[in-house]
């Protein structure tokens, strides 16, 4: 997969991209990430990327020309014929659809992805209307620009690409797409500051351990994120139990 990221601050991506899973995925050629500075697509002496908002108001708006030209360049230089047509061009914006694991899966299915990061008061509306094919928000809180949101999207998508996670982890993940929160996990020491690991986990009884973990996941989900149980994969007994507790 190829991911092109347009930003006024492309340097900020180097840290996250050069660690851990994303780093390995890039090294192994499973994903290629191109960082492009929107400022490089200006033509005036001052490399102007923003301007005042028509109609007035505080703050600056990103001009459309450099962003359109950057995407044109990506389409020219990396698309072999028909591919440019269906190329997803994602604008990160507080007004986008709320990012989720489902959207990550959808994005991971494309061979090529373009992410546009705005700054200041956002981008000229014509970018949204005539260039972006999709708008995504990572949550209802205010960021200063789209960069951190794009990093979240990249990390969530890259993890899903074939070969990125080890087969063991991805198999666990598959079976774990239960829609429940995770069960509590422990490692050594067996007792830390007087706090002991639950005895069941030391029993070696794998059927009992699996049962305990499932219960813990269900109870935790019920307590913290009850709405997840509406769509979680539950056994008939679990569904019955849940309905008796909260109809
Ligand atoms: C892009 C500029 C700054 C600040 C108007 C739009 C995403 N979940 C999210 N929260 N915030 C953003 C986000 C914020 C952005 C830009 C994404 C470009 N800003 C804000 C206040 C007023 N702009 C986001 N995805």
Dump pLDDT digits (tens) for 185-231.
999 999 999 999 999 999 999 999 999 999 999 999 999 999 999 99
Position 158 scores a pLDDT of 98
Show the tokens assigned to 106: 């959808």
Ligand 1 centroid–CA 95 distance in Å is: 8
Position 25 scores a pLDDT of 98
User: Does the Cβ of 59 fall within 6 Å of ligand 1?
Assistant: no
**% of the chain exceeding 70 in pLDDT:** 96
Residue among 166, 150, 206 at smallest CA distance from 34 = 150
Position 225 scores a pLDDT of 98
Sequence-distant (≥ 6) Cβ neighbours of residue 241 within 8 angstroms: 218
Confidence class of residue 172 from pLDDT cuts 50, 70 and 90? low
Ligand 1 atom with minimal separation from the 138 CA: 8
Position 28 scores a pLDDT of 97
pTM given for the model: 0.95
Rounded-to-integer distance, Cα 71 and Cα 67, Å: 6
Taking the CA of residue 94 as centre, how many other CA atoms within 13 Å lie in the half-sphere pointing to its CB?
10
Q: Do residues 78 and 118 make contact, with C-beta atoms less than 8 angstroms apart?
A: no
For range 149-162, the mean pLDDT: 98
Confidence class of residue 125 from pLDDT cuts 50, 70 and 90? very high
**% of the chain exceeding 90 in pLDDT:** 90
Ligand 1 centroid–CA 122 distance in Å is: 7
């Amino acid at each position: 997969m190829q991911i092109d990221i347009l930003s006024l601050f492309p340097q900020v991506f180097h840290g996250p991209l050069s660690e851990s899973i994303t780093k390995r995925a890039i090294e192994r050629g499973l994903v290629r990430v191109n960082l492009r500075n929107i400022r490089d697509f200006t033509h005036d002496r001052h490399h102007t990327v923003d301007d005042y908002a028509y109609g007035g108001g505080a703050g600056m708006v990103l001009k459309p020309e450099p962003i359109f030209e950057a995407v044109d360049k990506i389409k020219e230089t990396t698309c072999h014929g028909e591919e440019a047509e269906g190329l997803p061009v994602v604008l990160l914006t507080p007004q986008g659809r709320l990012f989720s694991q489902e959207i990550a899966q959808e994005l991971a299915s494309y061979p090529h992805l373009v992410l546009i990061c705005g700054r200041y008061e956002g981008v000229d509306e014509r970018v949204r209307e005539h260039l972006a094919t999709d708008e995504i928000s990572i949550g209802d809180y205010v960021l200063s620009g789209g960069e951190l949101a794009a990093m979240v999207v990249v990390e969530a998508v890259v993890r899903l690409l074939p070969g990125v996670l080890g087969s063991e982890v991805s198999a666990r993940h598959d079976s774990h797409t239960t829609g429940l929160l995770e069960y509590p996990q422990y490692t050594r020491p067996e007792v830390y500051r007087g706090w002991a690991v639950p005895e069941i986990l030391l029993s070696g009884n794998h059927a009992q351990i699996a049962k305990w973990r499932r219960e813990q996941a269900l109870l935790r989900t019920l307590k913290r994120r009850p709405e997840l149980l509406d769509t979680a994969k539950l056994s008939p007994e679990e569904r019955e139990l849940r309905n008796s507790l909260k109809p």
